[in-house]
């Protein structure tokens, strides 16, 4: 039986966006042979009505279907949906940038009709993903319960991938209505960026970006909330988890470094079990780029085991994070890790720059679209001291013992 212990901390709130912004940003990567183009909509899961939780992904799926049909041919494309934003991307050969631009134009053309079958496919894909996150994969299941308990009273108190029943209730006309609602967008091109692409993008009108409304009421989740779950027939050992709200935005650089230290310590003291990966339940589960408002620490018991041993492992791991400040070597390694993840540092001499690799271009595009709102700041990461990192962990991870009913 998976078991969750939920603990409280401050909530990270979205930052206001500028009143006006250019539609396109261009980022040339020397040596790149492909071009990634991506669009961000200022609409995510947290913007959905409670009875339409998951609609943001339905809209992203619809736009992706429309763009794939309009720009048929060899390309890689996909989507990400977060609490406050949705991103769709495409990667094409540098010489094929016009097809990539056609893909983006189709993404933005919400007046273009979509057949009922396409709408039904978008709804079905979203409902399946929501159902998997709510039942099949222990990590998202526990993460959803953590958000609902820790973020009560805010838009973030929802299932991590939407609610399958709410998604399935979306009819074709309601989806079309949602697609017609104006939403601020931003576009980025990364990799090989021909001058002709820059000119074509610059000729498109700028985006009038609406300010986000108030962040909403403060969370009212209670410290030490405990939740037990019935046995899931797809797992054969319990998962134990401890969840915490992330700190305020000004503390995130130090907190992110602290979690990198935690990941390194977990590899040594609690080597990941394969089933944790299959269950999307890493020991340290948090994404700064995704804007996760909750960090989830998970541990799976051994096959056929009881939760007590896993609970003791997790409790000891968290106690160590609170008690033992990061060493200089740990802090240096954590800093290098974040700088590499967010392309904030220089590559080692002779090493290939990861952003040149086609597989890295979508991630780089998403980073350029989301990093500013997340407060991802290379200078703040470089300046964070060991004392500040340890303090951020101690404050964000209060000492409440994980357990079950």
What's the whole-number average pLDDT of the chain?
Answer: 86
- Find the mean pLDDT for residues 356-373: 91
What is the pLDDT, as a whole number, of residue 347?
41
Higher pLDDT, 12 or 257: 257
The pLDDT of residue 29 is 92
CA distance to 80, 114, 288, 327, per residue, from 6 (Å):
26, 42, 20, 28
Q: Give the span between the Cα atoms of 324 and 322, in whole angstroms.
A: 6
Topology annotation, domain 3-8+217-396: Cytochrome Bc1 Complex; Chain A, domain 1 (3.30.830)
pLDDT at residue number 7: 32
pLDDT score of 345: 56
pLDDT of residue 404: 36
The residue ranges of every structural domain in the chain are: 3-8+217-396, 20-208
pTM: 0.87
Tell me the C-alpha distance between 30 and 358, whole Å. 13
Q: What is the pLDDT confidence band of residue 207, given thresholds at 50, 70 and 90?
A: low
The mean per-residue pLDDT over the stretch 227-231 comes to: 55
The DSSP call for residue 354 is G
Domains 3-8+217-396 and 20-208 share a fold: yes
Lowest mean pLDDT among 82-96, 117-131, 156-170, 341-355: 341-355
Query: CATH number of the domain at 20-208, please?
Result: 3.30.830.10
Tell me, what's the pLDDT at 116? 96
pLDDT over 60 (residue 346)? no
Whether residue 279 contacts residue 301, with contact meaning beta carbons closer than 8 Å, is answered with no
Give SS3 for 219: coil
Interacting residues of 282 by C-beta distance below 8 A, sequence separation 6+ = 139, 272, 276, 298
């Amino acid at each position: 039986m998976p078991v969750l212990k939920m603990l409280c901390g401050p909530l990270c709130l979205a930052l206001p966006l500028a009143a006006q912004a250019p539609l396109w940003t261009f980022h040339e990567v020397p040596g790149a042979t492909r071009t990634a183009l991506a669009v961000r909509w200022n609409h995510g899961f947290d913007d959905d009505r409670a009875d339409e939780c998951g609609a943001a992904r339905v809209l992203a799926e619809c736009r992706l279907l429309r763009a794939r049909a309009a720009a048929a041919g060899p390309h890689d494309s996909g989507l990400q949906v977060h609490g406050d934003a949705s991103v769709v991307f495409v990667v094409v050969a540098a010489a094929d940038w016009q097809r990539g631009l056609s893909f983006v134009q189709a993404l933005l053309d919400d007046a273009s009709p979509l057949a009922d079958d396409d709408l039904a496919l978008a709804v079905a894909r979203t409902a399946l993903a929501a159902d998997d996150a709510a039942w099949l994969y222990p990590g998202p299941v526990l993460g959803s319960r953590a958000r609902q308990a820790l973020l009560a009273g805010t838009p973030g108190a929802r299932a991590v991938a939407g609610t399958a029943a709410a998604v399935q209730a979306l009819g074709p006309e309601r989806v079309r209505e949602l697609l017609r609602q104006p939403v601020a967008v931003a576009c980025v091109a990364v990799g090989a960026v021909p001058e002709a692409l820059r000119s074509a993008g610059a000729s498109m009108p700028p985006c009038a970006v609406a300010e986000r409304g108030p962040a909403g009421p403060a969370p009212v989740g209670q410290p030490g909330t405990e939740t037990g779950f019935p046995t899931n027939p797809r797992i054969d050992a319990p998962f134990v988890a401890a969840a915490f709200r992330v700190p305020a935005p000004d503390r995130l650089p130090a907190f992110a470094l602290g979690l990198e230290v935690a990941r390194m310590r977990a590899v040594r003291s609690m080597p990941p079990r394969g089933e944790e990966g299959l269950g999307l339940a890493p020991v340290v589960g948090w994404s700064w780029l995704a804007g996760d408002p909750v960090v989830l620490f998970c541990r799976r018991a051994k096959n056929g085991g009881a939760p007590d041993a896993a609970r003791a492992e997790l409790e000891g791991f968290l106690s160590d994070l609170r008690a033992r400040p990061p060493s200089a070597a740990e802090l240096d390694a954590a800093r290098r890790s974040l700088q590499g993840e967010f392309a904030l540092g220089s590559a080692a001499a002779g090493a290939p720059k990861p952003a040149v690799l086609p597989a890295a271009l979508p991630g780089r595009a998403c980073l350029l679209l989301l990093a500013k709102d997340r407060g991802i700041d290379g200078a703040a990461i470089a300046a964070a001291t060991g004392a500040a990192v340890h303090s951020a962990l101690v404050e964000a991870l209060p000492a409440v013992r994980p357990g079950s009913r």
